Amino acid sequence: MAGMVKGRRVDWGDVSLYTFLTVLGLVMLAPLVYMASTAIKPVSELFLFPPRFFVVNPTLINFRDLLLITGTSFVPFSRYIFNSVVVTLGIVIFGVLISAMAAYPLAKHEMPFKKWIFSMVVTALMFSPMVLQIPQYLIISKIGLMNTYFAMILPYLAAPIGMFLMTQFLRQIPDALLEAARMDGASEWKVFFTVIMPMLKPAISTFALFSFIQAWNDPYPAMVYTTHEDMKSLPLAIQTISGGAGVIARVGTLAAASFLMIIPTIIVFVITQRMVLQTMAHSGLKE
C-alpha cells in the first residue's frame, strides 16, 4: 500500500479515493455475486424468508437440474450451448479477418475513395444495427438462409467498430517495417499475413472481445432468423426457462443457466484486458 502513505503521514485524499472506489466497486459487483450465490443455493435456501444474500450450504444441484429438466424436453440444453458457440466463433473469427483485411489498405495504402469509405464507416458507428433489422430479415429470408447458421453469422460480419479500431491502431504503426518487407519482395498478401496480422494483435483481441460479448449475449438473431427449436441460442433458451417477465419460476435453475452464460464473457475480458487498453488509446475520433 505504498500509494496510501506518503512519508509518515496518511494521505487522507488517497484514503477517501480508495474507500470510494472500493465501496462503489463492490456495489457494482453485488448483483453478480448474488447471481453466483443463487446458482449454488439448495432449494431450501432459495425461498427462504427473510431473503438471504449469501449461500450457506452450497450445492451443484441447480446445474444438474438444468441438464436434467431440459434434457427430457425435446431439445437438450447442450444443443443451445453448441449453437451459441458455433455462431459466436463464426462471427468472431471471420469478423476479425474481414475487418483486419479492410483496415490494412485504409490505414496504409493511398487510393481513390479512401477517405470516403472511412467516413462511411464512421457514420455507421453512429447508429445501432438494430434499426436495420427489418430489411436484414427480408434479405435473409429472400436468399433462403432462414434457419441456418449463416443467417445468424453473415449480417454481423462487417462490423464498423472493428474496422474503425483496427484502422486507427494501424495508423500508429511506423511504415518502415512494411517497406522492409516489400524490399525483400513480399507481396501485399504476404505483408498482410506476416507483418500486419502479428502487429495488429492488440486490436484483434479488443475487437474479438467486443464482438464476442455482442454475439454471445444477443438473443435477437436466433429470435428473428430461426423458427426451429433446435436452432435457438443460449440467451433465447434462458428466456424460455424463465417464462418471461414477471414470472419467478425455477429460480435456481435459471440462475445456474445465467451464471453459465456470463462466465465466458468475464473470462474473455480478463484474458484480453491488457491489449484492450493498448488499443483503446488509439480509439479517438477527430473531425
Q: Is 222 in the site for other proteins (CB under 8 A)?
A: no
Q: Is 186 in the site for other proteins (CB under 8 A)?
A: no
Q: Is 285 in the site for other proteins (CB under 8 A)?
A: yes
* CB of 169 vs other proteins, minimal distance in Å: 11
> Read out DSSP for the chain?
-TTTEETTEE-HHHHHHHHHHHHHHHHHHHHHHHHHHHHT--HHHHT-SS--SS-SS--SHHHHHHHHHHHHSSS-HHHHHHHHHHHHHHHHHHHHHHHHHHHHHHHH---TTHHHHHHHHHHHHTS-GGGGHHHHHHHHHHTT-TTSHHHHHGGGTS-HHHHHHHHHHHHTS-THHHHHHHHTT--HHHHIIIIIHHHTHHHHHHHHHHHHHHHHH--HHHHHH--SGGG--HHHHHHHHHTSTT---SHHHHHHHHHHHHHHHHHHHHHHHHHHHHHHTT-----
Q: Is 219 in the site for other proteins (CB under 8 A)?
A: yes
Nearer to other proteins, 7 or 50 (CB): 50
Size of the site for other proteins (CB under 8 A): 99
Residues of this chain, 40-79, that bind other proteins according to CB under 8 A: 47, 49-51, 53
Nearer to other proteins, 24 or 177 (CB): 24
- Interface region with other proteins, contact rule CB under 8 A, candidates 55-63, 66-74, 151-159, 176-184: 151-159
Residues of this chain, 97-136, that bind other proteins according to CB under 8 A: 98-99, 101-102, 104-106, 109-112, 117, 121, 123-136
Q: Is 185 in the site for other proteins (CB under 8 A)?
A: no
Q: Is 83 in the site for other proteins (CB under 8 A)?
A: no
Residue type, 250: R
Instruction: Check whether the bond before 50 is cis (ω within 30° of 0).
Output: yes
Nearer to other proteins, 68 or 97 (CB): 97
Cell numbers for 233: 441460442
- Interface region with other proteins, contact rule CB under 8 A, candidates 65-73, 75-83, 177-185, 236-244: 236-244
CA–CA gap between residue 76 and residue 230 (Å, rounded) = 9
Work out which of 188, 197, 199, 229 binds other proteins, going by CB under 8 A: 188
* CB of 122 vs other proteins, minimal distance in Å: 9
Nearer to other proteins, 67 or 161 (CB): 161
Work out which of 5, 15, 29, 69 binds other proteins, going by CB under 8 A: 29
Q: Is 266 in the site for other proteins (CB under 8 A)?
A: yes
Q: Is 176 in the site for other proteins (CB under 8 A)?
A: no
CA–CA gap between residue 132 and residue 162 (Å, rounded) = 18
Nearer to other proteins, 75 or 238 (CB): 238
Nearer to other proteins, 86 or 101 (CB): 101
